[in-house]
Structures are given as C-alpha cells and as structure tokens.
C-alpha cells in the first residue's frame, strides 16, 4: 500500500516495483476492490491534472495522483508504457500472470489475410449448452476479439444477464483467452477461432438466444487499396448482422484509423432504413463521432492508440424497432 506520507519515496521506485506496489494497493482496497487501478489509468490517460487530499510535489508535475480512504497513489506518466496502462485498466481480472504451460507466451502476427484459403473453412458450431450456463441469454459478439480481455471484463461484470462470444482469426489468442475463461470460472463467455467473414452467419443463426450487440473494434486496417477487400466490414457481413440482430439491438464500431472508421460508418449509414445512429442518447462530436467508449471499458488497441495521441473514431447504431 502506498501511504500518502510515503508518496515521495514511491516516486523513485523502479517501474516493476511500482507496478507491483500499485497492484497490491488496489487489491487491498475493501471498499472498491481493484477499481482503483482503473481509475488511476483514467487519470493517467487524461490531459487534466488530478489531486486528492494533497498537492503533487513541484518536481513531479508529470505525475497523476489518486487517494481513497485506504490508499494514495501517484503515477509517473513518463515511466509507464502503454502495455502497463493496459494492465492497469484490466487489473481487476487479475490475469496478468495467468499463463498456461500449454499456451505459453503468445507472439502473434498483427495482421493476417482473411481471404487466404487457410481461413476459408467455416468454424464448427459449438454445443451452446456446453459453452454457456444459460444459452438463452442475450448475446454480444465481438468480431476480432484480440486477446479477449475486453469481453472477459464485460462477462465478469454481467454474469447471469448476458453471454459473450469472441470471434478471432488468430488461433493462439483464442486458445489463451479460453484458458483465461477457465481460470476465472466464467460460464458466460467463449472464444472461437473463426473468420467472421465466413463463419458469422452459421454461428449466430444456431445460437438459441437473441443477438443483442455486435462490436467491431479497431479491425485490421489493410491500408493498401488492393488489400481493402480484406477488411472485415463488407456488405455480406453487414447483411448478416442486420438479419440476425434483434430489434433494438446495437452495433458498435470504432477505429483509430479514420479511413477505416469512415468506411464502416459509410456502410452502416447506408442502412438508415434499418439502423439509426444513437447520437441522441450518447455524447457526440460535431462531426458525428462518439466522444467516448459507451461500453464502460476501453479495448487494448484503444489504450495503445490514445497513449500515442491518436483519436478514436466511434459510432453506435441501433436496429429500428418493428412497426
């Protein structure tokens, strides 16, 4: 625990010890277990200074501080790397050191070609009542779920009310994510090694419950014009999402690459007879992009991009109710 009267010495801890001390402090907070780490991350990502109960020393003007009844913490933004901010954001999952011997340390290619023949076979449909405790619950699908921590956090928060399904084209990430599911003892989240462009329809039409939310968050950009056909948001996938999404269901898309975000926006805006942008219920910039992430937690890519000073372009749509 980092006491406020020891804050000066905490400034000079090596970053590894500082992270461990911070994590221990967050774990020991009985009133807000591990929420402290998330709040510290929010402060660290914010352009605004924050203090509580004391002033940040003059020689530490780049620090952010947080204080609760039991804990006071100060973070040096110049020392923290973006991957450490990710660990802070997801600290309450406590999976930083949960790595199976079978999976080991995961190194993956950042981008793959979904049009490759190796990804052309549809993923097998799981036995849903073996995957989820209650397969009749509303389903959220995250297309391109990456490491899976985004869905794990949501599943942990909403156990018993929503099921979560991650579709990811990089098999090692799926393997590790499902290992984490078992380690956390969650029965409302599952990850499938799948190319959403060929597997989404078959998987979702077989699910017993309603499709409530689909998210596509920072998908592979495939910058070259001749490679843009590899982008996941294509007309067939959009049609499949709209056909299976329940009335009132939502589609959330975002990217730190404006061209990719605009491409997704244009395709979904074209479906205005079926979809409406929810700019009347969430804060929106003048140019139509959402001001913040409405899901309650940011994705890892989102954290890395904002750490580097990039803007995140977000849109949230809702399927119109039947009349």
Asked whether residue 320 carries a pLDDT value surpassing 60, the answer given is yes
Return the active site residues.
Answer: 220
Q: What is the dihedral of CA 232, 238, 239, 241, to 10 degrees?
A: 100
pLDDT in tens, 197-208: 899 999 999 999
- pLDDT confidence of residue 266: 95
SS3 content of the chain, % helix, strand, coil (to 5): 40, 15, 45
Averaged pLDDT score across all residues of the chain: 77
Q: Which CATH superfamily is domain 117-319 in?
A: Vaccinia Virus protein VP39 (3.40.50.150)
Percentage with pLDDT > 70 across the chain: 64
pLDDT digits (tens, 9 = 90+) for 218-261: 887 654 565 455 566 789 999 999 999 999 999 999 999 999 99
Q: Which long-range contacts (CB under 8 A, 24 or more apart) does 237-241 make?
A: 237/143, 237/196, 237/197, 237/200, 238/267, 238/268, 238/271, 240/200, 240/201, 240/204, 241/200, 241/214
Cα–Cα dist 44/18, whole Å: 14
The pLDDT tens digits of the residues spanning 32-49 come to 434 444 444 444 444 333
pLDDT(75) > 60: no
- Using the CB atoms, write b or e for 70-84: b if 16+ within 10 Å: ebbbbbbeeebeeeb
Instruction: Give the model's confidence band at 280: pLDDT under 50 very low, under 70 low, under 90 confident, else very high.
Output: confident
Instruction: Round to the nearest angstrom and report the end-to-end CA distance of the chain.
Output: 57
- What pTM was estimated for this model as a whole? 0.75
Residue found under tokens 């001390």: 21
CA angle, 156 as apex, 42 and 212 as ends, to 5°? Answer: 95
Q: Where are the domains of the chain?
A: 4-93, 117-319
- Output the six-digit token pair for 103: 């999976």
């Amino acid at each position: 625990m980092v006491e406020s009267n020891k804050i000066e010495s905490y400034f000079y801890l090596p970053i590894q010890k500082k992270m461990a001390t911070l994590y221990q402090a967050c774990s020991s907070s009985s009133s807000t277990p591990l929420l402290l780490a998330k709040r510290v991350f929010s402060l660290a990502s914010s352009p605004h200074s924050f203090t509580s109960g004391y002033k940040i020393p003059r020689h530490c003007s780049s620090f952010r501080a947080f204080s609760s009844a039991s804990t006071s913490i100060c973070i040096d933004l110049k020392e923290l790397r973006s991957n450490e901010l990710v660990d802070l954001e997801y600290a309450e999952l406590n999976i930083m050191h949960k790595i199976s011997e079978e999976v080991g340390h995961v190194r993956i290619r950042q981008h793959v070609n979904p049009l490759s023949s190796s990804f052309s076979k549809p993923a097998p449909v799981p036995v849903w009542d073996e995957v989820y405790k209650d397969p009749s619950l509303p389903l959220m699908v995250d297309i391109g779920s990456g490491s899976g921590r985004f869905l794990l956090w949501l599943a942990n928060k909403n156990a018993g009310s929503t099921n979560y399904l991650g579709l990811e084209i990089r098999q090692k990430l799926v393997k590790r994510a499902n290992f984490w599911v078992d380690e956390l003892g969650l029965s409302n989240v599952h990850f499938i090694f799948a190319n959403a462009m060929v597997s989404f329809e078959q998987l979702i039409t077989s699910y017993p419950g309603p499709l409530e939310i689909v998210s596509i968050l920072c998908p592979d950009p495939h910058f070259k014009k001749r490679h843009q056909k590899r982008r996941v948001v294509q007309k067939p996938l959009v049609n499949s999402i709209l056909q299976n999404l329940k009335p009132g269901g939502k589609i959330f898309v975002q990217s730190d690459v404006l061209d990719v975000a605009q491409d997704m926006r244009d395709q979904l805006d074209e479906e205005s007879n079926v979809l409406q942008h929810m700019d009347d219920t969430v804060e929106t910039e003048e140019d139509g992009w959402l001001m913040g992430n409405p899901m309650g937690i940011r994705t890892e890519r989102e954290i890395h991009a904002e750490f580097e000073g990039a803007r995140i372009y977000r849109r949230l749509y809702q399927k119109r109710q039947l009349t």
